[in-house]
């Protein structure tokens, strides 16, 4: 964890135990946030995997949701515990915890971004190009496997680059070890190249998702305008034609057309609800990285941003911002709970069954 105790007075003879106590006071908010993300993420994603896998008829977007949940569950069950170990063992350095926590956090970012891009493209084809070629269920599976493999291989450099990083402090010239780019690579271009690749992939994903959902919004507005015109024309025709002039055959045609129109409307409403829910999932994903990138950018543009003038509370706030991406591990089940009525009902039924058994 890239966190220092520069706010400590340097003219005091600090013991190692006192420095450790001060450090733990600073990281308590981060630990609480991490434990919360781990707990909610584990329970929520287990519910998502169970309900979307065994209670729903399979479809493209549901398969993508299952893949996102599996990715987030891996981070919650494995990544966050190692992250906690990395933070708590900063002064008792653990290389394994450092590498695993960094690898899984980068894997989650790459894999989730890839799946979110595919979801946006699939929704775009489904709603804007309904008469064109669509992504089949088998294709959705293959794209999901590709996303997982992309995340696995794209995150490999993090396992190589991160590790033993020694920092000379101003407190009695004490040298501490932190989880960052290893001393071997610290003065090379490899860390910068990897950071550039991560940021570039994030920007590509953001632009692609925004473009797809912008087209979806435009299509929905055009369809709503067309439906309003049709409804107005139908209303005018009904006022011009008297009931005596309407034959039984025309009545049957009207009923059939109305039924077809209602079916299409219900299908369009369902597609809109799914697109809205998945758009919010994408928005939460990108927004969760804003504090992280904000601190990183401030630290680059202002070298003294994390300097001596920071108070313990400000240091804790920056530490939480650097872990803002953990929101991804638990946010999606909450989004589904608010926007997917069937998922919410299944969760309630499961809860009632568990309570009734007791």
pLDDT score recorded for residue 179 = 76
pLDDT score recorded for residue 125 = 93
- From the first residue on, what is the mean pLDDT of each consecutive set of 10 residues in the chain (358 residues)? 51 61 81 95 95 89 94 93 80 70 91 96 91 91 94 93 72 66 84 91 95 92 71 56 50 51 65 91 95 87 69 83 93 94 91 83
The three-class DSSP label of residue 175 is: strand
Predicted TM-score (pTM) of this structure: 0.84
Alpha carbon distance 90, 197 (integer Å): 28
Alpha carbon distance 201, 197 (integer Å): 6
Residue 16 CB burial class (10 angstroms; 0-12, 13-18, ≥19) = exposed
Q: How many CA atoms lie within 13 A of 16 on its CB side?
A: 6
Topology of the domain comprising 16-357: Rhopdopsin 7-helix transmembrane proteins (1.20.1070)
pLDDT score recorded for residue 4 = 53
Domain borders along the chain are 16-357
pLDDT score recorded for residue 288 = 94
pLDDT score recorded for residue 185 = 84
């Amino acid at each position: 964890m890239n966190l220092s105790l520069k706010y400590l007075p340097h003219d005091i003879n600090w013991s190692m135990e006192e420095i450790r106590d001060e450090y733990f006071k600073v990281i308590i908010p981060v630990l609480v946030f991490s434990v919360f993300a781990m707990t909610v993420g584990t329970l929520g994603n287990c519910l998502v995997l169970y309900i979307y896998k065994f209670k729903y008829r399979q479809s493209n977007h549901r398969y993508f949701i299952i893949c996102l949940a599996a990715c987030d569950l891996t981070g919650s069950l494995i990544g966050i515990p190692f992250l906690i170990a990395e933070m708590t063992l900063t002064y008792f350095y653990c290389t394994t915890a450092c590498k695993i926590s960094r690898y899984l956090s980068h894997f989650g970012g790459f894999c989730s971004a890839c799946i979110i891009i595919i979801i946006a493209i699939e929704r775009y084809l489904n709603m804007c190009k309904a008469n064109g070629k669509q992504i089949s269920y088998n294709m959705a599976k293959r794209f999901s496997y590709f996303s997982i493999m992309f995340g696995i291989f794209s995150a490999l450099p993090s396992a190589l680059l991160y590790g033993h990083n020694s920092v000379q402090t101003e407190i009695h010239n004490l040298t501490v070890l932190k989880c960052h780019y290893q001393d071997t690579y610290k003065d090379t271009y490899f860390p910068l190249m990897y950071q550039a690749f991560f940021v570039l992939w994030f920007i590509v994903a953001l632009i692609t998702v925004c473009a797809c959902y912008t087209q979806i919004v435009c299509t929905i507005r055009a369809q709503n305008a067309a439906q309003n015109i049709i409804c107005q024309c139908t209303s005018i025709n009904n006022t011009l034609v008297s009931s005596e002039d309407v034959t039984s055959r025309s009545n049957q045609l009207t009923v059939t057309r109305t039924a077809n129109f209602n079916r299409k409307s219900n299908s369009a409403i369902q597609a809109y609800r799914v697109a809205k829910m998945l758009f919010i999932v994408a928005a939460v994903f990108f927004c969760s990285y804003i504090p992280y990138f904000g601190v990183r950018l401030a630290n680059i543009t202002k070298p003294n941003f994390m300097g001596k003038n920071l108070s313990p509370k400000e240091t804790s706030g920056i530490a939480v911002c650097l872990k803002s991406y953990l929101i991804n591990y638990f946010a999606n089940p909450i989004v589904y709970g608010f926007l997917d009525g069937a998922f919410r009902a299944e969760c309630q039924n499961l809860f009632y069954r568990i309570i009734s058994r007791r």
